[in-house]
Chain A
């Protein structure tokens, strides 16, 4: 309960800070927040858009959270997502039409495999040369994005001016739900994996071992856990989740690989995982929240003159305020000394 309150405080502070930025840019933050939230929840369209936006974040959030549980910072979900998307798009368009479910599963598995292998490069370098996985995965992001750009521009390019792959076979498409609704069963694949990761982390020996490695690798070694192996396996799974996210976008939403289709889902995954406290259910919650903000932001963009990018500021503020352990403590001290007034509400909690 305390943790929830603590998190709520940080969220409020983050929204307040982001609102300040908006205020100084000459907008009314309250009106903006109201328009965002109201826009996202008041209509079926808004709710559907929230779910569409949340879907890839569930996957990348899970990817980052899983790795964090093992003490590995996978900041490369973006690159893994691209690789997974490309693999799925190619399998879905170039294989002959197969029975519906089979084709979907093959394309998803291909996405997971390539995402996972991409992450495994980082694991290999970390284990072999003790290379910092943060820098490696960042570099792999850029390389992966460029590699996919090449493939979309040349190898698998569909005729026409746009760098994109051919349309996927309908047998490989994740079905859209409802009439005109944009969100697809990719969402349910995501929910399924929330459960899978939850079960993995809290109900299996593998998850237990993984968390021991993440919390105290030296104790893990003394307990007979093969630490490098566990790091490799975790990054493989983490990359696979991100790759699945990319595959889901292709099979469910775009219907083909379009160059630059991700506006940074991978990096958003970091924010989602942090806000979700690296737990799968937390990730689901924060992905939905971020999805709502994005959907609301798009409506905000259409109905007012506040651009959708405002949402990025909120995300940045949330990352900063949620990931700063001594934030509340410091504000509390200020309050005791008679400093910042609004800190009182924070400190009381």
Chain B
């Protein structure tokens, strides 16, 4: 019975759909971790698009320079971290508006990658092909029918996302650092009054988040195309912002939200094959987010102090 179904067209399509859902969800989920960490510490991160772009670019650059794609991954982590450090310094040290800084970060990512593309490879559109990171068939598990096909023949980035999700959940809800981080995004004054170095946590969280977003970018370039093409993130950073909201700033929640948005991307690709309009499916993540924020779907609770500047001398009443 099952075997019969497995050979049917419907099964082929469904398995293909789920498998590409996971694939499409991975960069979103990784980037959304970026926003989760940053915003849990109270810093709004609307710069995911820019962070992903530099991650994608430097990932390819690392692979290009060394021939080893994993060096590229390290490059992308560093690039994302450094970019996020800019956000951290401007918002935390110079007290710039978080949203404005995020917009700047997106522009910066777009500009830097486009300039470097020309500077390094003399090409305005894309980089040469480099060694990429390809799906891994996990021995044994990948042979399980259906399940193996869907879950255990994925890109290493997918496994990384799952690992980061589990670790993040554990860190957030089972360790003292997570406890403090969650408290800081909610009420930094209370945390400060207990003698905790609020700003150290904020800087670390923003930079770590930037590294995850950079990894999400590398997932697109190294994991999908094995090259960099201009503005290749094309709005995924904003979908990751949407996933952060729908996932209620929870590591597991954002992965689930990313999966949902990955599904819409997967459906969109199939529609494209048949030449049907894709725009309305593409709108779904944004519409869902608006419905959530408008209070039509589920209640989400962003960290209360997100986007606010903290200063010891004027925060205590």
Most buried by A among B95, B100, B114, B283: B100
Q: Does B116 contact A (CB under 8 A)?
A: yes
B111–A143 touching, CB < 8 Å:
no
Docked CA distance A83–B287 (Å):
17
Nearest-CB distance from B92 to chain A (Å)?
A: 10
Query: Inside 8 A of A324's CB, which chain B residues have their CB?
Result: 90, 94-96
Most buried by B among A26, A306, A316, A317: A316
Docked CA distance A307–B111 (Å):
9
A150–B116 touching, CB < 8 Å:
no
Query: Inside 8 A of A309's CB, which chain B residues have their CB?
Result: 110-111, 114-115
Query: Inside 8 A of B103's CB, which chain A residues have their CB?
Result: 75, 267, 270-271, 319
A267–B90 touching, CB < 8 Å:
no
B90–A313 touching, CB < 8 Å:
no
Q: Does B97 contact A (CB under 8 A)?
A: yes
Q: Does B204 contact A (CB under 8 A)?
A: no
Q: Main SS of the interface on chain B?
A: helix
Provide the A303-314 mask, 1 if CB < 8 A to any CB of B, else 0: 001110111111
Quick one: closest A residue to B118, CB to CB? Answer: A307
Nearest-CB distance from B199 to chain A (Å)?
A: 14
Query: Inside 8 A of A317's CB, which chain B residues have their CB?
Result: 104, 108
Q: Does B242 contact A (CB under 8 A)?
A: yes
Q: Give B contacts to A, CB under 8 Å.
A: 46, 86, 90, 93-97, 99-101, 103-108, 110-112, 114-119, 122, 124, 235, 238, 241-242, 245, 277, 279-280, 282-283, 286-287, 289-290, 293-295
Quick one: closest B residue to A148, CB to CB? Answer: B279
Interface size class on chain A is: 35 or more
Query: Inside 8 A of A106's CB, which chain B residues have their CB?
Result: none
Q: Does A73 contact B (CB under 8 A)?
A: yes
Docked CA distance A22–B97 (Å):
26
Q: Does A326 contact B (CB under 8 A)?
A: yes
A327–B94 touching, CB < 8 Å:
yes
Quick one: closest A residue to B235, CB to CB? Answer: A142
Query: Inside 8 A of A125's CB, which chain B residues have their CB?
Result: 290, 293-294
Nearest-CB distance from A316 to chain B (Å)?
A: 4
A147–B283 touching, CB < 8 Å:
yes
A307–B94 touching, CB < 8 Å:
no
A143–B114 touching, CB < 8 Å:
no
Nearest-CB distance from B220 to chain A (Å)?
A: 18
Most buried by A among B103, B106, B124, B282: B103
Docked CA distance A248–B47 (Å):
30
B241–A135 touching, CB < 8 Å:
yes
Q: Does A139 contact B (CB under 8 A)?
A: yes
Evaluate whether A153 and B277 lie within 8 angstroms (CB atoms) in the complex, with A143-B287, A146-B282, A323-B100 already known. Answer: yes
Docked CA distance A320–B46 (Å):
14
B295–A129 touching, CB < 8 Å:
yes
Tell me the residues in window 298-349 of chain A with beta carbons closer than 8 Å to chain B beta carbons: 305-307, 309-317, 319-320, 323-327, 330
B241–A323 touching, CB < 8 Å:
no
B100–A270 touching, CB < 8 Å:
yes
Q: Does A25 contact B (CB under 8 A)?
A: yes
Evaluate whether A312 and B110 lie within 8 angstroms (CB atoms) in the complex, with A25-B116, A146-B283 already known. Answer: yes
Nearest-CB distance from A73 to chain B (Å)?
A: 6
Nearest-CB distance from B139 to chain A (Å)?
A: 41
Query: Inside 8 A of B94's CB, which chain A residues have their CB?
Result: 324-327, 330
Nearest-CB distance from A75 to chain B (Å)?
A: 7
Docked CA distance A289–B66 (Å):
42
Nearest-CB distance from B267 to chain A (Å)?
A: 14
Q: Does A138 contact B (CB under 8 A)?
A: yes
Docked CA distance A335–B99 (Å):
29
B96–A129 touching, CB < 8 Å:
no
Quick one: closest B residue to A273, CB to CB? Answer: B100
Docked CA distance A330–B97 (Å):
16
Most buried by B among A139, A310, A312, A315: A139
Docked CA distance A75–B47 (Å):
13
Quick one: closest A residue to B286, CB to CB? Answer: A139
Docked CA distance A132–B93 (Å):
24
Query: Inside 8 A of B105's CB, which chain A residues have their CB?
Result: 316
Q: Does A149 contact B (CB under 8 A)?
A: yes
Docked CA distance A324–B295 (Å):
33
Provide the A44-75 mask, 1 if CB < 8 A to any CB of B, else 0: 00000000000000000000000000000101
Docked CA distance A311–B108 (Å):
10
A154–B277 touching, CB < 8 Å:
yes
B283–A323 touching, CB < 8 Å:
no
A323–B97 touching, CB < 8 Å:
yes
Tell me the residues in window 71-94 of chain A with beta carbons closer than 8 Å to chain B beta carbons: 73, 75
Query: Inside 8 A of B97's CB, which chain A residues have their CB?
Result: 323
Query: Inside 8 A of A316's CB, which chain B residues have their CB?
Result: 104-105, 107-108, 111
Evaluate whether A310 and B283 lie within 8 angstroms (CB atoms) in the complex, with A138-B241, A320-B96 already known. Answer: no
Most buried by A among B104, B277, B290: B104
Query: Which 6 residue pairs of A and B lie closest in terms of their CB atoms, listed nearest first?
Result: A312-B111, A309-B114, A324-B94, A313-B111, A316-B108, A316-B107
Evaluate whether A22 and B115 lie within 8 angstroms (CB atoms) in the complex, with A312-B110, A320-B96, A330-B94 already known. Answer: yes
Tell me the residues in window 128-182 of chain A with beta carbons closer than 8 Å to chain B beta carbons: 128-129, 131-132, 134-136, 138-143, 146-147, 149-150, 153-154
B119–A320 touching, CB < 8 Å:
no
Docked CA distance A264–B114 (Å):
15
